[in-house]
Amino acid sequence: MLSFLGVAVWAAWLILYAARWLNDRDTVLVEARDPTSSFFASLAPVATMIASVGLAPHWPDFAWMMALAGLFGTTLFAVWGMGSLWMGDRAFEATTPILYMPTVGGGFVAAITCAAFDMKELGLLFFGAGLLSWLTLESVVIHRLILQALPVSLRASLGLHLAPPAVACVAYLAVTDGPPDRLAQILFGYALLHALVTVRLVPWLRQQPFSPAAWAYTFGVSALPLAALRLTERGLEGPSASLAVPLFVAANLIIGWIALRTLSLLLRGKLLPVRPL
């Protein structure tokens, strides 16, 4: 049931984006050229892959086609996005955690998707691309965060900074077999550090008024308990296993709070910006 609900949400957002493209193409093109917001478009193939994994047990053929579309779209967008970075001439202010989305987020989710469709060898290639992209971009993003504070309007993007180590742990476990090794536990440990730092920054982050941008936090918030559960399923005991249930409960509370706040904005007609006539 939850899988079908997730696919329905994915389809609804896809239809809304298509409608926005048809009705307000100029704004969409401006966003596509913006160095800060353009990488958000990589969510389309990433969300398609996530939906395909949820749908695979029910409609395997359709899910397989979705997975292929997502893998192709992610690869294409990662190449385009990385190419734009390599050409340089990027403003320092445009360096934010959003940079992780095409190659890091895309690579890790692609690895998970490949594993779900019994293509672990291909998944390892995507995992390698995501892992090394994350390690190189991490220093760039941290350099920016240390030297220049994010403006209030972009602070929710730190939710994307929380996600890579947790999603990397899930992806690594997906493309490997047997009991969790040291690397899986190291990734989980770094994910916990990110979570604790994010909790420490809550007062600073809440200076940004609530908006749909808060959903950026849900990537890491949902991946962290999933990593703990996967470690436990594979036989790991000790601190990581004992954290699985508390993290799961905390993640549901946080995501539920974001969902309720979003619904409140929708009911008050403030979810989407009003286009001037």
When pLDDT is cut at 50, 70 and 90, the band that residue 32 belongs to is: low
Across 163-170, average pLDDT: 96
The answer to which of 3-7, 55-59, 89-93 has the lowest mean pLDDT is: 3-7
Question: Does 4 score more than 70 pLDDT?
Answer: no
pLDDT at residue 277, as a whole number = 47
For the CA atoms of 138, 139, 140, 144, what is the dihedral angle to 10 degrees?
Answer: 100
pLDDT at residue 42, as a whole number = 84
Across 26-44, average pLDDT: 75
Residue 18: which residues within 8 A CB-CB, separation 6 or more? none
pLDDT in tens, 167-200: 999 999 999 999 999 999 999 999 999 999 999 9
Q: How far apart are the C-alpha atoms of 6 and 51, rounded to whole Å? A: 7
- Between 148 and 27, name the one with better pLDDT: 148
pLDDT at residue 87, as a whole number = 87
Determine contact, residues 64/52, Cβ cutoff 8 Å.
yes
Determine contact, residues 54/69, Cβ cutoff 8 Å.
no
When pLDDT is cut at 50, 70 and 90, the band that residue 40 belongs to is: confident
Question: Does 63 score more than 80 pLDDT?
Answer: yes
* Percent of the residues in the chain that have a pLDDT greater than 70, as a whole number: 90
Residue 149, classed as helix, strand or coil, is coil
What average pLDDT does the chain have?
88
Question: Does 21 score more than 90 pLDDT?
Answer: no
Q: How far apart are the C-alpha atoms of 159 and 177, rounded to whole Å? A: 29
pLDDT in tens, 221-243: 999 999 999 999 999 988 988 99
Determine contact, residues 228/258, Cβ cutoff 8 Å.
no
Across 148-162, average pLDDT: 92
Question: Does 96 score more than 70 pLDDT?
Answer: yes
Domains in the chain (CATH in brackets) are 2-15+35-267 (1.50.10.150)
CB atoms < 10 A from the CB of 148, how many? 11
Determine contact, residues 109/164, Cβ cutoff 8 Å.
no
pLDDT at residue 143, as a whole number = 94
Across 25-52, average pLDDT: 79
Counting every residue, how long is the chain? 277
Question: Does 274 score more than 60 pLDDT?
Answer: no
Q: Which H or E run contains 215? A: none
CB-count exposure of residue 124 (10 Å: 0-12, 13-18, 19+): middle
- Between 269 and 13, name the one with better pLDDT: 269
Q: Give the torsion sign (CA, 188, 75, 63, 125).
A: negative
Q: In the chain, where does DSSP find H-type helix?
A: 2-23, 25-33, 43-55, 60-86, 100, 106-116, 120-147, 158-175, 182-200, 202-205, 217-233, 239-267
